[in-house]
Structure 1
Amino acid sequence: MKKILLAALITFLGFVNMNAQNIQFGVKGGLNFADIRSNNANNAKTVTAFNFGAMAEISITDKFSFQPELFFSGRGFSIGDDVVALNYLSLPLMAKYYATKRFSLEVGPQVGYLLSAKRESNDIKSNFKDVDFGVNMGIGYKLDNGLNFGARYNLGLSNINNIDNTNDKIKSGVFQLSVGYFF
């Protein structure tokens, strides 16, 4: 995980050096609507959590930009009244295409590092893998004053189940709504 984060940071700094005059830094936060896909948990329900963090938008051309982000992301699922809360440090690397001056289409990979996992007040982090890989797809709208809005879906690609002696594959899914501000 450290090597992945280091490689992403080096890539990010390389883009910053190439386009230092075309970079904006910002913060964002919002709501997550998270669930799982599993071959044994068909009755799993969506849980609501939050996300917040930092981002940078690096303009490549008038139509294309690169947006790395680093943020806290609450995820999980519920079965009946039992809620499993999964907290991740997420690193999405988004390619953005501006269809109009303000409206963008976004796509990119994401790696998430599991910070904690709880069921009621019990620590169940060992039941889940430390790293979750996924792909994001979304839309954004940015105002001239720096305020921006986004809607995104993160499709988990890796099996996050770490329980021995089970073949149950668990993959996460998160719909995110966010509001941000570029300085």
Structure 2
Amino acid sequence: MNLKLHLTFLLLFLSFYTSYAQYYGGNGFFCYDCTFTVEVGGTLANINGIEASEKAGLYVGIFNSYEFNDTWAIRYGMGYANLGAKIKEYNTNIVLHTVLIEPASVHYTIKDRFKTFLGGNIGISMAGKNPYSEEESGMMLMPDGIKFFDLSIFAGGGYKLTDEIDLNLKYNLGLTNINNMEDSTAKWKKNWLTLSVAYTFR
């Protein structure tokens, strides 16, 4: 089931990109002067409030950036991340297949190579597995006991290998209690580290 969901999300992103490239020819979506970026990498996630260890996952993103000058830029777009945590008590995982909407992030480039960035995400838990659920502990759409929406902020840095390719490392800090279990007062907040490679079409 996990593999099928991974492949489904990847297919959706690839379909979006194919349509984009065909009809927009590399210019920014809703922004003629923007650049278009595809980003792929891995995540290392955990959930505060649960006795758990880190869980590795996949990350894919598609973004537009508007560059004010050689130093400042803003970025917006969306992505997919396989998040969650490995629960020590049950020797299993909380799995959250999450769509990430990035309304805006600010990017600052130093000496044309090094960059830092700060922004936020709206998370949508489309599918997942919650072993704590009494109704359904297996993989399901809109997992029981997990809030559908959540918010996080992120900060990170990167290095431009070339004008088109850059390597990025960022950390997302969860702001929302995603615990929607009945009669539970525990606060679950998901946090994750992402290491990714991005290609920008210029």
Which TM-score bucket, shorter chain as reference? 0.7 to 0.9
2:25 matched to which residue of 1? none
- Tell me the distance in 1 between the aligned counterparts of 2:116 and 2:108: 5
- Tell me the distance in 1 between the aligned counterparts of 2:48 and 2:151: 14
| 1:45 pairs with one of 24, 47, 53 | 53
When normalised by structure 2's length, the TM-score is 0.76
- Contact kept, 8 Å, 2:127 with 2:139, in 1: the verdict is no
Equivalent residue letter for 1:45: S
Equivalent residue letter for 1:49: G
1:6 matched to which residue of 2? none
Q: Does 1:85 align with 2:95?
A: yes
- Tell me the distance in 1 between the aligned counterparts of 2:41 and 2:61: 10
5+ residue gaps, structure 2: 1-27, 132-136
Local SS of the residue matching 1:127: coil
Q: CA deviation at 1:99?
A: 2.0
Post-superposition Cα deviations, 1:99-128, rounded to whole Å, max 9, x if no partner, equal 221111100111111111114744371210
Q: CA deviation at 1:13?
A: 6.7
Q: Where in structure 1 do 4 or more consecutive aligned residues deviate above 6 Å? A: none
Identity, % of aligned pairs? 24
Q: CA deviation at 1:63?
A: 1.2
Equivalent residue letter for 2:56: T
Equivalent residue letter for 1:109: G
Cα-Cα RMSD: 1.8
- Tell me the distance in 1 between the aligned counterparts of 2:35 and 2:151: 26
- Tell me the distance in 1 between the aligned counterparts of 2:193 and 2:83: 10
Equivalent residue letter for 2:120: P
Alignment length, in residue pairs?
164
Q: 143-152 vs 74-83, which deviates more?
A: 143-152
- Tell me the distance in 2 between the aligned counterparts of 1:72 and 1:129: 17
1:174 matched to which residue of 2? 192
- Contact kept, 8 Å, 2:29 with 2:64, in 1: the verdict is no
| 1:62 pairs with one of 60, 67, 70 | 70
5+ residue gaps, structure 1: 1-11
Q: How does 1:127-138 map to 2 (within 5 A)?
A: 127-138=145-156
- Tell me the distance in 2 between the aligned counterparts of 1:134 and 1:141: 23
Equivalent residue letter for 1:82: T
Equivalent residue letter for 2:127: S
When normalised by structure 1's length, the TM-score is 0.83
Post-superposition Cα deviations, 1:142-179, rounded to whole Å, max 9, x if no partner, equal 23340111000000000000111111110000100001
- Tell me the distance in 1 between the aligned counterparts of 2:156 and 2:176: 20
Q: Does 1:160 align with 2:160?
A: no
